[in-house]
Homo-oligomer: A and B are copies of this chain.
Amino acid sequence: MNRINTLFGIKYPVIQAGMIWCSGWELASAVSNAGGLGLIGSGSMEPEILRIHIQKCKKATTKPFGVNIPLLYAHAEEFIRIIIDEKVPVVFTSAGSPKVWTPVLKEHKIKVVHVVANVKNALKCEEAGVDAIVAEGFEAGGHNGKEETTTLVLIPLVREAISIPLIAAGGIATGRGMLAAFALGAEGVQIGTRFVAATESSAHIHFKNVVVSASEGSTDLTLKNMVPVRLLKNKFYNELFQAQTSNATREELLEILGKGRPKLGMFTGDIDEGELEIGQAVALTDDIKPAGTIIAEILAEFNKALKEISQID
């Protein structure tokens, strides 16, 4: 038992990342039932949809689960009201300041975790009173930091700077990756990409199939001058890449981005025209399996890899 297990009241320090269009109540409850912490990704939901997912999740598991909220989203305040109302035990916040909502959530005995990509923001989180921090490296899928610090370098830097529990994210999909994160000083891992290919993920089967067949070099961190985001290199990405190479204006880029591209790709399954957010760990994700099996395999590999390493004298 480490501080992450104790904090959330979970058996294994494995957190399934809250991901738009992929992690609804089915995935979150499956992960929580398997002993990890499942997160509902609210970023692609309307408030009443979020409420339904929370209610279904509560019916599907008696174990703790959480909701991820990107604080810059228009519905953030309403989400928080629903979460308090529905007595969700854990909230992961990202993309915004931890100062505003952390005290409100903690007043309602909700555990608060904030996601950062650098030491500066980790220190701000600790000051704001969050219970734990997720530090997410360059290899992570979706939105990402501007410093491009990789998980291998970021985790020990954040570990050194803060004293509250630390969860590593970015590039972790296997037991070996989890063990590496622990070696670097993390007490838990947040895993996204691997769970996109979980049976219970609400990603469209076309997207899941692309995820299990992708390999190294299949993703790129793009839109660096706007909002850096790691995407799978599909037709839509190529258009975006070309536009940036020919110095498209912000307006032109916004037009290419359009509206609803993430839903189109990840949920509706248009893998050419849709925006497919995914991490470099896609190269380590080779099959579609139930979330419980994924967790069991990660833990078995963690223990096996740990046994194989000896002290150096």
Q: Which A residues form the contact surface with B (CB < 8 A)?
A: 12-13, 118-119, 137-139, 146-154, 156-157, 170-172, 174, 176-177, 179-185, 215-217, 220-221, 247, 280-281, 283-284, 299, 302-303, 305-307, 309, 311-313
Contact = CB atoms under 8 A, between A and B. Distances in A.
Contact of A305 (B183, B281, B299, B313): B183
A177 B184 contact: yes
As for how many copies of this chain the complex holds, the number is 2
User: What 9 pairs between A and B have smallest CB-CB spacing?
Assistant: A147-B217, A180-B180, A179-B183, A152-B171, A180-B183, A150-B150, A139-B150, A153-B280, A153-B171
A184 B181 CA distance: 10
A153 B312 contact: no
Contacts of A283: 149, 153, 157
A131 to B, nearest CB: 21
Contacts of A303: 311-313
8 contacts: A13-B312, A119-B215, A119-B216, A139-B153, A150-B151, A150-B171, A176-B183, A302-B312
B157 A177 contact: no
Nearest to A2: B310
